[in-house]
Structure 1
């Protein structure tokens, strides 16, 4: 029998196993290879593929279906207007409707207004400016779509009466729908961007697009706004566009703080590759975009703009954190000042450790790897670890360690915690009044262990590149000294 020739453009070397110019997951990942046996087996030489269903289009569809299922998962609360305890038993809680009525959006009050009458009625929104701007815009769209009319007349009614009206109940649903549709579009865009970071490995983005944590937590808060900027920063950095990367990091930081942490990994990469101009461009672009976005809020209400920073400074140990478990086990209150000092000190040490790992690695690590390590460290030592914070790690983790086995181990721990936190808030995990909530403590620890497991896998890949399934560009050659050796006579 005549041996068939290899398909043209077949990649070679580590991670190869696809047709054309990309790596096929059924030939690259053992878990996907095993699963493919149920649908015909791995991708073969004679597989013609499909002229329209390219990997990127499949990934976009996966992200759309995943997010749609997340919307269905929240339908129980949608039917009940988030007004009863079913939000915990059905695990469909979301911050969005409560903040619509609790932060003045229902009256379309500017989030950073210093009007005494507004501030007497509503608390200041405790989020960065990017989220506040977006929420304000979403409220405006909601009221136009639902026919709210002139909402300024609501200022003459008690806030409790405003929230109880049928029109506002209609707006609550509309507000969630408007936000959710944008989040879905951002999830799809994020999948597209992640697929383009490494054109030879677009299928790595499937870890993001089909993630159970994306399905469960994508609508809890506005974190998807920052996720897309992180995905965009990974995309532009892979294309050697430091200015665009800096702008995206700056906008992301104005939306959530954590995109700022990508600047550390970028500094490590630039120092190793002597790309000093790229580092300066990235940092300056990030700073400029952050200042420009914050300026309107700061100028309209300095005290209101400061609320985000004050809220996070005054906050004590909260949900999901090891600090909360420690305080409950010891039956003592850990002050906000104490946990602030210790958490930032531990995070500083963690960043030093990541820098040492990144600088001592045999070859330059990828941005996703170092970014994942830094953000994971922040979440592990932070004083609050809300369920939706897993989204911060998701795009970084998908590209840092594109192996389904390790991702499923980590995400299984996250899903276990996701269920446990709602049972905890409902009071179902407390055996009897006054006793310990040991099961919740176990859930927090399991979540942290799952994250540490993925941290260990990524760290091993950085220090031992032969375990990294993603090809890395070779480091630039070291400069050769031109000084002549002087021989003493």
Structure 2
């Protein structure tokens, strides 16, 4: 908030939030309905799960990760590849919900269904809170942009595949705390978000680049110290007392091969020489580093300092496009940042259509793959990869428009309304202290 901005009464500021919350609750309910065919028995038949498009990780992992008997990270008698492969915040969410499910049900099958229901309830709450927080970040002039996060088809379809909405609400909370210049809470929420899913680490780079341009170093360092502190508080106990369980996520991430959704899978399946003998993890990190370097140059040479949401979106999109796995639920990461970066409905609709097509295509493709090999029900490589590249191309289009808005700020719909960076916190209205363009003058 700039110094000259006058805030309206609280009642007026709160007007959009009730309908937004109700619509987000509707989206959460529809996401539950989408998976009802599996909830009522379909998970016991893999073909039915895929043909009904109702797959989720939540139910099978209750069995496969031994949650009916063990606590995550302390399951020392489980094989390493059967231990929970998520950062500790998600592991603890799974642990608490499994305790409740075990207390409520005696039979393991009933426990798993209860575990799913309770997890979905939590994720639904996270979606509603995430939408409300996003609306607050967007500001009173554009709170309805949060509808994209509340009821967009891709969000409804992907909401309950995994636990990603937990990280989403922490990221939105971090952005709002940063906007309100609550430095320490912003850092704590960022640290917890990184301890939930790895992708929020990309926002550290966005904050650093804009700090480099504005010289708001004290705020940056306090935020980073708070983030590191929060991350250590939740990770250190497991690092000390359950090292093997704790490191499972990091070992799995490093050793995991090319997986579904990644553009690298296309080159691998087509046996194109682009992969060569290079390790895909290395190739992914190199291409991500090059993309981040391009974002850094863009940030430091733009005629006007970019908005925080723009750089966060570009960094996160680059991370997703260069990763060796791109699961359908990753759309939940990007939706709020894509909308905050550039709330233009045409490219967003195009991208949403691509995400919906990918959601359909991945399950049909898995039907034709081992061990099912139901080619009569599934689709082949060529059709599947139209969906893979559809996501890449549509996100690339959105990235190109955001880059255009950065290079030509008068095209930015947010700044056309007279705003500088309404979600930028200390960056909002801050003068430039450093830019590469100034070095050549």
Say if 2:183 and 2:223, in contact at 8 Å, map to a contact too: yes
The structure showing larger relative contact order (alpha-carbon pairs under 8 Å, at least 6 residues apart) is 2
How many residues end up aligned between the 2 structures? 410
Per-residue deviation, 1:279: 0.9
What's the C-alpha RMSD, in Å, of the aligned pairs?
Answer: 2.6
Structural mapping, 1:299-448, within 5 Å: 299-330=240-271, 338-427=279-368, 437-448=381-392
Say if 1:314 and 1:336, in contact at 8 Å, map to a contact too: no
Per-residue deviation, 1:196: 0.7
Of the candidates 121, 129, 152, which is equivalent to residue 189 of structure 1? Answer: 129
Deviations 1:162-186 (A, max 9, x none): xxxxx22211211111000000101
Say if 1:317 and 1:336, in contact at 8 Å, map to a contact too: no
Alignment correspondent of 1:476: 430
Structural mapping, 1:2-151, within 5 Å: 54-80=15-41, 82-84=43-45, 85-107=47-69, 109-113=70-74, 115=76, 118-119=77-78, 123-146=82-105, 148=106
Distance 1:329 1:240, change over 3 A: same
- Separation (CA, whole Å) in 1 of partners of 2:277 and 2:83: 20
- Separation (CA, whole Å) in 2 of partners of 1:122 and 1:329: 29
Alignment correspondent of 2:424: none
Per-residue deviation, 1:304: 1.6
- Separation (CA, whole Å) in 2 of partners of 1:375 and 1:349: 14
Say if 2:88 and 2:235, in contact at 8 Å, map to a contact too: yes
Corresponding position: 1:294 with 2:235? yes
Deviations 1:320-345 (A, max 9, x none): 00111111011799699710111000
Say if 2:13 and 2:140, in contact at 8 Å, map to a contact too: no
Corresponding position: 1:252 with 2:193? yes
Say if 1:242 and 1:278, in contact at 8 Å, map to a contact too: yes
Distance 1:399 1:55, change over 3 A: same
- Separation (CA, whole Å) in 1 of partners of 2:143 and 2:185: 21
Per-residue deviation, 1:58: 1.2
Of 355-364 and 57-66, more deviation after overlay is shown by 355-364
Per-residue deviation, 1:402: 1.1
Alignment correspondent of 2:119: 179
Distance 1:453 1:386, change over 3 A: same
- Separation (CA, whole Å) in 1 of partners of 2:358 and 2:272: 22
- Find the residue that maps to 1:105 and give its secondary structure: coil
Alignment correspondent of 2:140: 199
Provide structure 1 residue ranges, at least 5 long, that are not aligned to the other structure.
1-19, 23-49, 149-166, 480-489
- Separation (CA, whole Å) in 2 of partners of 1:257 and 1:283: 16
Say if 2:260 and 2:326, in contact at 8 Å, map to a contact too: yes
Per-residue deviation, 1:476: 3.4
Provide structure 2 residue ranges, at least 5 long, that are not aligned to the other structure.
1-6, 422-427, 434-441
The structure having more radius of gyration, on CA atoms, is 1
Alignment correspondent of 2:4: none
TM-score relative to the length of structure 2:
0.87
